[in-house]
């Protein structure tokens, strides 16, 4: 049994059961708006993976609103990301805190203003590389709300970026804003990687029609310089964000995911992969009130099936 005393370094159970060479897959959960279910999704996807036998570390990168620990049923741990960001601890693995689920650990979020929004470039690079060194199979990041550049960078750097939204106009608008921020960041990265700044400027200066879209810009670049244009398109194609619609009540709510997929392709040229939906269900807020993980506390909740379907899609298991 792992105890809180084990985590002076890295918990002994965690260390001995894992091969030191494995490199975790990183999944990042984002979305433009607050309260759309990012922490719910982070906590319960982490639980699904852990119950499937994977070693999982869930990390709360939410600025100011760190509450992933509540969704996972643990009190605020003694050590949080605040200690890492203020350099009290040097290694992320020193922050690993066990949960009631044997394969699942949490790194709890900063409990002060020292959040990822304030991370300097160098610290961000270090944090990102340390995520890849955590001795586990999956690292699941709760990015919190918003589209700050650090949040977008973590989303893009992850092996899988997952966007959560509600089937409401304000939430959908925020999701497009999030996708737009991801697109622009990727364009900037491709510009630096391929050294195509002047080409992009040329295409932007060309008179595109008033209704032209980011996807049109890439097509214009392909017309001017097919080789570099196709390379740019293939960089943009690497963006393959996943979409979850949360709090659905009707078939029309479920169908919003399919519309968003079509619009993202048409407007941004981005393949948005709609991996599933979560029902609106009282067990969600009941589990939050009880400070217990939903999937463990309510095994008969309709969300158990919802999450089962989503995790199979994310893992490409049919």
Ligand X SMILES: Nc1ncnc2c1ncn2[C@@H]1O[C@H](COP(=O)(O)OP(=O)(O)OP(=O)(O)O)[C@@H](O)[C@H]1O
List contacts with Mg ion (CB under 5 A): 38-39
Minimal CA–CA distance to 186: which of 139, 149, 220? 149
Interaction pattern, residues 234-263, with ligand X; x per rule: CB under 6 A: ------------xx----------------
Q: How far is the CB of 62 from Mg ion (least distance, A)?
A: 5
- φ, ψ at 100 (rounded to 5°): -70, -15
> What does the alpha-carbon distance between residue 166 and residue 257 come to, in Å, rounded to a whole number?
10
Assess 144 for contact with ligand X (CB under 6 A).
yes
State which residue, 81 or 221, has the beta carbon closest to ligand X: 81
State which residue, 26 or 162, has the beta carbon closest to ligand X: 162
Give Cα separations from 176 to 164, 236, 273, 289 (angstroms).
Answer: 11, 16, 14, 31
Assess 73 for contact with ligand X (CB under 6 A).
no
Residues 23-62 binding ligand X (CB under 6 A) are: 34-40, 62
Assess 140 for contact with ligand X (CB under 6 A).
no
- Per CB under 6 A, the list member of 26, 104, 136, 145 interacting with ligand X is 145
State which residue, 137 or 253, has the beta carbon closest to ligand X: 253
> What does the alpha-carbon distance between residue 117 and residue 239 come to, in Å, rounded to a whole number?
22
User: Among ligand X, Mg ion, none, what binds residue 77 when CB lies within 5 to 8 Å by partner kind?
Assistant: none
At 92, list the tokens.
């992320």
Assess 309 for contact with ligand X (CB under 6 A).
no
Does an H or E element contain 274, and which?
strand 273-279
User: Among ligand X, Mg ion, none, what binds residue 281 when CB lies within 5 to 8 Å by partner kind?
Assistant: ligand X
State which residue, 39 or 103, has the beta carbon closest to Mg ion: 39
Q: Nearest residue by C-beta to Mg ion?
A: 39
Beta strands in 35-186 (DSSP E): 56-60, 97-98, 104-107, 138-142, 160-165
> What does the alpha-carbon distance between residue 66 and residue 108 come to, in Å, rounded to a whole number?
7
Exposed/middle/buried for residue 202 (C-beta within 10 Å: 0-12, 13-18, 19+): middle
Q: How far is the CB of 120 from ligand X (least distance, A)?
A: 24
> What does the alpha-carbon distance between residue 27 and residue 161 come to, in Å, rounded to a whole number?
6
Contact 136/50 with Cβ under 8 angstroms?
no
At 11, list the tokens.
């918990």
State which residue, 38 or 186, has the beta carbon closest to Mg ion: 38
User: Among ligand X, Mg ion, none, what binds residue 35 when CB lies within 5 to 8 Å by partner kind?
Assistant: ligand X
Assess 151 for contact with ligand X (CB under 6 A).
no
Count how many Cα atoms sit within 13 Å of the Cα of residue 48 in the half-sphere of its side chain. Answer: 20
> What does the alpha-carbon distance between residue 296 and residue 227 come to, in Å, rounded to a whole number?
52
User: Among Mg ion, ligand X, none, what binds residue 37 when CB lies within 5 to 8 Å by partner kind?
Assistant: ligand X
User: Among ligand X, Mg ion, none, what binds residue 270 when CB lies within 5 to 8 Å by partner kind?
Assistant: none
State which residue, 9 or 35, has the beta carbon closest to ligand X: 35
Assess 278 for contact with ligand X (CB under 6 A).
yes
Across 238-273, b (16+ Cβ under 10 Å) vs e yields ebebbbbbbbbeeeebbebbeebbeebeebbbbebb
Assess 103 for contact with ligand X (CB under 6 A).
no
User: Among ligand X, Mg ion, none, what binds residue 258 when CB lies within 5 to 8 Å by partner kind?
Assistant: none
State which residue, 7 or 139, has the beta carbon closest to Mg ion: 139
Contact residues for ligand X (CB under 6 A)?
34-40, 62, 65, 144-145, 246-247, 278, 280-281, 284-285, 288
């Amino acid at each position: 049994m792992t105890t809180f005393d084990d985590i002076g370094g890295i918990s002994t159970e965690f260390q001995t059961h894992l091969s030191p060479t494995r490199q975790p897959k990183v999944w990042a959960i984002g979305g433009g708006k607050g309260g759309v279910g990012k922490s719910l999704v982070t906590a319960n996807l982490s639980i699904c993976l852990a119950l499937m036998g994977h070693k999982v570390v869930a990390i709360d990168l939410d600025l100011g609103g760190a509450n992933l620990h509540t969704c996972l049923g643990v009190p605020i741990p003694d050590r949080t990301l605040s200690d890492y960001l203020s350099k009290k601890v040097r290694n992320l693995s020193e922050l690993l805190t066990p949960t009631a689920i044997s394969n699942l650990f949490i790194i709890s979020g900063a409990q002060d203003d020292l959040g990822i929004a304030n991370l300097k470039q160098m610290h961000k690079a270090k944090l990102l590389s340390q995520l890849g060194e955590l001795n586990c199979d999956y690292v699941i990041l709760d990015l919190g709300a918003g589209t700050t550049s650090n949040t977008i960078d973590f989303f893009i750097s992850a092996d899988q970026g997952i966007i959560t939204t509600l089937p409401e106009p304000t939430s959908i608008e925020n999701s497009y804003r999030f996708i737009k921020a991801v697109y622009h960041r990727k364009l900037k990265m491709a510009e630096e990687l391929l050294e195509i700044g002047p080409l992009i400027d040329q295409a932007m200066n060309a008179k595109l029609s008033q209704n032209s879209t980011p996807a049109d810009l890439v097509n214009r670049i392909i017309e001017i310089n097919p080789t570099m244009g196709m390379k740019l398109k293939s960089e943009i194609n690497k963006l393959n964000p996943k979409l979850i619609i949360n709090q659905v009540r009707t078939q029309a709510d479920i169908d919003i995911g399919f519309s968003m997929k079509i619009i993202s392709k048409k407007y941004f040229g981005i393949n948005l992969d709609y991996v599933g939906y979560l029902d609106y269900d009282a067990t969600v807020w009941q589990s939050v009130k009880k400070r217990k993980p939903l999937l463990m506390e309510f095994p008969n909740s309709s969300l158990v099936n919802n999450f089962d379907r989503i995790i199979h899609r994310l893992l490409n298991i049919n």
